[in-house]
Amino acid sequence: MSWTGHLPVFLFLLIIFSALYRVARHLTGGNKDAGFWAAIPSVGVPTGGILPWTRAALNAITGMSRCAQIGYDRYCRSNAIFALPSPGAGAVVAIPPSLLNLLNRSESQIRAFDCQIENIQPQYMIGDRKLYENILHFEVVRQHMTKDVGHFAASSLEELDVAFRDVWGAEEGVWKEVNAWDTLARIIARASNRAFIGLPLCRNEELLEQTRLYANAVYIGSTLITALPISVRPIFGHIIAIPAKRSLAKCQEILVPFVEERVRLWRSADKTHKQPNDAVQWMIERCAKCDEYEMQPARIAQRLLILNLVSIFTTAYAFTNVVLDLYGSDQKEDYISGLRAECDHVARTHGGLSTKAAVDEMYRLDSTVRESLRVSAFGIVTLQRIVGDAGLDLGQGVQIPAGVRIGIPSQAIHHDSTYHENAHSFDAFRFSRPFEGPDGRRRQAGEQKLSVHVDEAFLTYGFGKHACPGRWFASQLMKQAIAYMLTNYDVECVGQRPEKKAVLNMILPPVQARIRIRRRVKR
């Protein structure tokens, strides 16, 4: 077998070795902070036998979810911290909900962006770290895709209609079986890209497929690189990134000529010509405020791909979970009939579901989205930060040293019965049920907790000043997609839903789940 044939096995062994080395160095005498790690409680570390931390690190590859839940129940409920072995980060300090406000401290005290850089490895996955560090693309999201998302409602619904028909089919009354993850991700990608790049490119199947492959390669590859020692990353990082670079190049082949034409149109002297109103246009206008370097079509195209990377993958993940949670529930008949009744009522009132006002009135549907985001987590210990140079004083003699990672055991918080009755069960109307009836509806708009609202018991979109700025767009799009599906299709889960699998700190997408679908007969 050639060297390249042995490379995947070699990389896996190297990652395991470096992960174990990093954990051991964090928690034994090989690290200047060994005293800190010895002083705080840890979870998942055997009390006897040889090499307890090594065994703990190996167990954490697939057992972090269980350890985080044990630590949360044992320590965080008493407002205490604990250490959790992590093959990727060495070890993470999990902090309780009572300390969430620490995340709002300045970047010099709690480094959020450095943690993102470490997690995404842009120098390998994107090819230019400065492109990621200069966050022009995220400024565009904050300015145009936050609360003022009504602009997209009509075009999103139009694209959802075309996408569902193309991907799921338009033949009425005929059942067929499909892969839930593959088909729902394609539908969401089409509708999202209608806002990002518009027609006709949002329907380019080659671009959609390559952006999907790019996102998968980045998330998997960056996880592997992060687990490597810094000294060997320049060697193996570029090798691990090869699949991502290949898909990136194919995306650029399609996107760059398109952006070149859009830049030419923007520069044209004929300002009477109506300019498009989409993310491409906003990106061009924002980059133009910098310099000609940022106006290079290849850089603008790559910024659009970064938006695809961080938004479409997660929205597709969430949407797939909503469908599986809803149609896999024991109460699905009641939920579906209640949601369809709401969709029909709102559509009659507003003449359809193509406006923000209509989408905002679907409170049962919003509750369904929020509930699925709560029970079906993406990660285990999230909102991770790196402690700044001055360290972090928690009081009562607890000082977290500089450079240590902290994080929130968000999956355990979402499943905490202190916050939610029957917390492990999916209850689609959990957040809307208290407002059923005339008196409740008068209070609903101001009091119901919505899918975009973050608090100490709901952390899917982050917390505080670093909460996801694109969550309003994602929520609106998902609600329109679910409403369209409910109105136009019957859906059934095939067999038992595949067990949710955790690897390192991630809950893997339900890529094997299958569903049966049938276009409803119009009456």
How far is residue 88's CA from residue 229's CA, in Å, rounded to a whole number?
Answer: 10
Residue of 213, 94, 187, 103 lying closest to 464 (CA atoms): 103
C-alpha distance from residue 296 to each of 138, 201, 300 (Å): 18, 20, 6
Which two tokens mark 34?
């060994």
How far is residue 476's CA from residue 52's CA, in Å, rounded to a whole number?
Answer: 48
* The residue to which tokens 């060997």 are assigned: 232
Residue of 320, 331, 328 lying closest to 369 (CA atoms): 320
DSSP 98-165: GGGGGGGS-TTTEEHHHHHHHHH-HHHHTS-HHHHHS-HHHHHHHHHSSS--GGGHHHHHHHHHHHHH
405-408/506-507 β-pairing: unpaired
Is residue 343 part of an annotated ligand binding site? Answer: no
DSSP 508: P
Element (H, E) at 475: helix 471-488
How far is residue 385's CA from residue 112's CA, in Å, rounded to a whole number?
Answer: 5
CB atoms within 10 A of CB 397: 7
How far is residue 426's CA from residue 371's CA, in Å, rounded to a whole number?
Answer: 7
HSE (side-chain half, CA atoms, 13 Å) at 100? 21
Annotated binding residues for heme, written as ranges, equal: 468
Annotated binding residues, written as ranges, equal: 468
